[in-house]
Amino acid sequence: MEFKLKDGQSQNHFIWEVYTKGYKTGLVTRERAGEICNNQLGLDFDESAFRKKFASFEVMWEEVKHEYLIDSDDELIERLSKIEEMDDKLYKTKVKTADKLREYRKTLRDEARIENLVELIESIAQDMPDMRIEQKPIQLIGETSAILSLSDWHYGMVTNNYWNKFNTMVAKQRVEKLLYDTIKYCETMNVGKLYVANLGDLLNGNIHVTTRIQSEEDALTQTMHVAELMAWFLVELESYGLEIFYSSVTDNHARINNYKEHIEKENFNKIIDWYLGSRLSGTTIEILDNLIDESISLFEVDGKNVFAVHGHLDKPSQVLPNMALGLQITPHIVLMGHYHNRQEFSMGGSKVFINGSLCGIDDYAKNNRYLGTPSQNLLVLDKENVISIQINL
């Protein structure tokens, strides 16, 4: 008699068959039974291993055949196969559960790290000296509202090419120029309320290997320094008598993990906002909550719905219909960053304003010929008019 492993036949079933129909009947010797099992099952065991397993099956057979009224070897094997299938399912369930538990523990660790960062940032903010608001001789108490778009500072990045030189020192100089030009235009346009929209990518981050190579500070140090720079900028604006409202959205460069492993909510930009919440506690600056999503800011200025997004999740041509249809709210103004190229266009009665960058032309922009002047955008809402001012830096 020839013994061959059948399709779908389990190891235990095959061993039982070889020893009951071969060895027990005298058709094959013990040694031959071991050789057959090894050859058919792809194993390299001593024959005694199979014989001991068969002996355990015989003990099981004697115990269960009376209790469960099993009348034949085939019926026993069928039941053993079902038990084996159940064992396989239980093992698979165990593996799946272990994987889910491992992912859950990773999530808890990530959340714990974020909570620790938040506590660290808040404690740093509380230990910092109070932000002194020294009222300037010029006090802007006009009746007009304006929106200042801040995006793509990429603080921490270092570049030096024909068109642009940028590092942390240059970043601070450009922010200072942005402050004084903003005040100049607010005074000229009779502005009293200023909405500052942080559209993201304030830090260079670590989402790509190249961003880490091009950075002179690690991502966490970038976060702390740019958060303090933002706090200084907002307090200086307030010192000129402006009512300041601040909004913020998540972005791509401030992701805590690289772009392949990121979770959208894990974003250093949120840490900047937590820091500002504590740092600006002695001021009248109002930090606006995102009621829709962390990646979408919505606020109203003089009866107009203003949406703010970074731009990494939206295409300029689709952002207006997406906001209008997806949220059932009419967008009058949509602010975007991310593209490092100042643009504006209308669709119906709505307008999209894409902000420039503070960092200017880096290697990516240079190699793709995205050449332009570092700038940020100031929108002045004068009754029915929206006046767009490009502040070159």
* Domain ranges, ordered by start, for the chain: 1-127, 140-392
Q: Rounded to a whole number, what is the distance in angstroms from the first to the last CA of the chain?
A: 91
Q: Which of 156, 131, 118, 152 is nearest to 273 (CA)?
A: 118
Q: Report the alpha-carbon distance of residue 305 to residue 254 in Å, rounded.
A: 26
> Does the predicted model carry a pTM greater than 0.85?
no
Q: Report the alpha-carbon distance of residue 98 to residue 337 in Å, rounded.
A: 42
Helices (H), 26-167: 30-41, 47-67, 73-127
Q: What is the pLDDT tens value at each position of the chain, 393 positions in all? A: 788 888 878 888 888 889 888 888 888 898 999 999 999 998 989 999 888 888 887 777 666 555 544 455 555 556 555 555 655 565 566 566 566 666 656 555 655 665 666 666 666 556 666 666 778 888 999 999 999 999 999 998 899 999 999 999 999 999 999 999 999 999 999 999 999 999 989 987 654 444 444 455 677 778 888 999 999 999 999 999 999 999 999 887 655 555 444 455 566 677 888 889 888 988 999 999 998 988 999 999 999 999 999 998 889 889 998 898 889 999 999 999 999 889 999 988 899 999 999 999 988 778 878 788 999 999 999 988 999 999 999
Domain 140-392 belongs to what topology?
A: Purple Acid Phosphatase; chain A, domain 2 (3.60.21)
Q: Report the alpha-carbon distance of residue 204 to residue 265 in Å, rounded.
A: 17
Helices (H), 240-362: 268-279, 319-327
Cα dihedral 197, 199, 205, 210 sign: negative
Q: Report the alpha-carbon distance of residue 275 to residue 287 in Å, rounded.
A: 12
Q: Report the alpha-carbon distance of residue 249 to residue 227 in Å, rounded.
A: 14
